[in-house]
Chain A
Amino acid sequence: MSGIVWLASYPKSGNTWMRALLANLFLKAEAGADINRLSRDGIATSRRMFDHLTLLDSGLLTETEIDLLRPAVHRAWGGSLAADGAMLPPSDRPLALRRFVKCHDAYTRLSDGTPLLGGGEAASWAILIVRDPRDIAPSFADHRGCSVDEAIALMDDPEAVQGRSIRGQRHQLRQRLLDWSGHASSWLDQKDIPVHLVRYEAMQEDPAATFAAALRFAGVDTDAEAIERAVRLSSFESLRGQEEARGFDEARVGKNFFRRGIAGGWRGALTAAQASRIERRHGAMMLRLGYSASA
C-alpha cells in the first residue's frame, strides 16, 4: 500500500499552510519549520522526482509525452515509499509510512482512462483543501502578477494549466487545473482514492480540530499538545514573519506569498460585478462546499 497522501488543492487555497502544519508536527524544530524547507520534492509535479525515477531529462519531452509517463511515475513513487517503510522499526512506521504530497493537478485521466496520478496504487488518501473562490481570485491575481479579471477568467477556463515550460524550464511539470469548479469535482467525484474535504475557512475558525480531523483521516494519531504546537508555529503571523525576515522561494520576486490570510477578504478586494461573475459561474460548486452567495 502506498504511503502517499495527496494534499490536493486549487492554487492559493491553503496548501502551504497545511504543509507548514505538517512540517511543524513532524520536524519538531524549536523555532518552527523553515518555510523554505517544507519538503522540496513533496509535490506531485516535481520535475526532479520525475527525472530521477524515469532516468529521463523531462526538458526534452513534450507535455503530452510527460503525461503518458506520469501514472507509472506516481505508482513507482508510492511503491518505493511503502517498501522503504517496511524496513523501519514498527514504532516508526505510522508516520514514516505517510508522505503528504502537495498536488495542484486536477484529478484527470489520460485518453485511455488511466488516472494521470496513478490511481489507488500511487496514493492511499487524498485531502482536498478548498477555499471560497472569491477569496482565491485576488490572491491568485497577486501571485500570478495579473489583474483580478484575468485571474477570474483563468478560474473559469476548463483548459486552464499552470507551470508550463515554454521558453525556459520550470522546477515543476505542467499542471492541468481545469476550472475552479471542475478542479473540486474532479477530486470529490473520483472513486479511486478516499478523499477528505478541508475548508480553508474551517482551518481558520478551528485550526487544531480541522488539522486533527485531516490527520485522523490519513490514519495518523497524534496528541492534542503536538497539534496545538504545530498550529502556533504555523500561524499566519509566524509564516509571514519568516517570509519578511528571510524570503520565500515560492513567492514571485518582489511579492509576498503570505499576503492577507483572511477569510471573506474578497468583500474589499472584488467589485460587485467580479463577485457576481464568480457566483454565477461557480454557484453550484460553491453551494456544494458551503459558500453562500453575497446577495
Chain B
Amino acid sequence: MHTYRFIDLGIASEIRLPGLLDAPRAAAPEILVQVGEVPAELPGPTSAGPSWQIAGDTVLLTVPGVGRFLLTRGREVTAEPAPGLTADDLSALIAETVLAILMQQRGEFALSASAVAVNGRAVLFCGPSGAGKSTIAALLGKAGYPVLADDLCAIDASGEAPLLRPDGCAPRLWEEAARALRVAVGAAVRPGLRKHLVGTAADAPARRLTVAAVYRLADSARPCAVQPLRGGAAVQALTESVLRPQLTAPLGLGATAFEAAVRTSRAASVAILSRRRDLVAAAGALDTLRGHWRALGLSERDQ
C-alpha cells in the first residue's frame, strides 16, 4: 500500500501516485484508492455527461481505452484499467482528475488554479486546462516566489480571511514550457506524454496562507494588463473557476460555492490577467504583476 498526504487528507492507495507527497500511513486514511471491478453503468443515474454518471453519493468516470473509476462518498476510489493496461497507467488520471472530483464530492471549495507565495500571502492564477497556470507559476518560481500549488487550490473560506490549503502535489510542466523556462524536469506524468513532474512535492510549503489575490488568466494579442473585477463579476470569475463546474449543480454545491466565492471576493483582489503567451511577453507580465502587488500593498518580494 502506498501512502500520501493530499491537502490535509491521508491517502492509502494500491496504485502508485507519483507527484503526491509521501506520508507515513495514517491510522485512518481519509481516502482509499484500490484496484477492482467497476460497473459500466450506474443504476438510475440522476445526471450524466459524455464520460460520467452520478447516482446518489457515487460518481462513475469512464475513459475509453484507459479505464473506469468509481468514486464513492468522497472517500473511496475503485479503479479498473482497460484491457491491456496496468494500474500504473491510471496514476496520472487519479492524481489530477479523480482526486479533483473527490474534492467536489467532499463538498470542498477548490479552484482550478496555481498559486505562489508573495510576502507570506497566496496569489492564485485560475483558468481551465491549457490556460497557462503551471507556466506562470513556474515563471514566478524562477523569479523567487515559492510555488504553492500547480493545478488545484483548496480554499478554507469559513473565516475572516480565505486561506489556501496547498495540496502538496509536485508541479507539472510541458516539455516546451520547461525548456523555455530552463527548468529541470523529472518523470513524465504518463508514459509517452511530454508533460513532466517538476521538483518534488515536498518543495511546496505545507502552510496555510491568506489568499491576497486571484487572477483569471486570459490570452490577448495586446500588452499584458490587469483588469480588476468587482462585485458580481468577481464572484462569477471565482465560481467559473471552481474545479469541474459541470459537477457543481449535480452534486448540490451551488450554494456553498457561491457563498465561498462571495467571501473570497470580499477579502481578496480578483482580476483578469490578460497577456500574450510567448515568453518574450513573460517579463512584461512579471512587471505588471509586481506593479499590481505594490498597489495591493503586497511587498516586492517573498523572503
Interface residues of A (CB under 8 A from B): 36, 47-48, 51-62, 64-65, 68-69, 72-73, 75-76, 165-171, 246-249, 251, 253
Contacts and interface: CB of A to CB of B under 8 A. Distances in A.
B50 interface: yes
A59 B129 contact: yes
Contacts, number: 104
Given A53-B246, A64-B65, 9 more contacts: A55-B49, A55-B97, A55-B244, A58-B129, A59-B129, A59-B174, A169-B195, A247-B221, A251-B221
Interface string B136-158: 00000000000000000000000
Contacts of A57: 93, 96-97, 129
Nearest to A49: B128
B130 A47 contact: yes
Residue of A36, A246, A249 ringed by the most chain B CB atoms within 10 A: A249
A59 B189 CA distance: 10
A54 B130 contact: no
Contacts of B189: 60
Given A60-B189, A61-B66, A167-B175, A69 B130 contact: no
A51 B129 contact: yes
A170 B49 contact: no
A68 B65 contact: yes
Interface residues of B, number: 38
Interface of B: 49-52, 61, 63-66, 92-93, 96-97, 101, 128-130, 174-177, 179, 189-190, 192-195, 219-222, 244-247, 276, 278
B68 to A, nearest CB: 13
Given A54-B52, A55-B247, A167-B174, A68 B64 contact: yes
10 contacts: A52-B246, A55-B246, A55-B247, A59-B130, A60-B193, A64-B65, A68-B64, A169-B130, A171-B219, A246-B222
A47 B219 CA distance: 15
A106 to B, nearest CB: 21
Given A56-B51, A69-B50, A168 B177 contact: yes
A125 B98 CA distance: 36
Given A47-B129, A55-B97, A167-B175, A73 B65 contact: no
Contacts of B66: 61, 65
Residue of B50, B64, B192 ringed by the most chain A CB atoms within 10 A: B50
Contacts of B101: 55
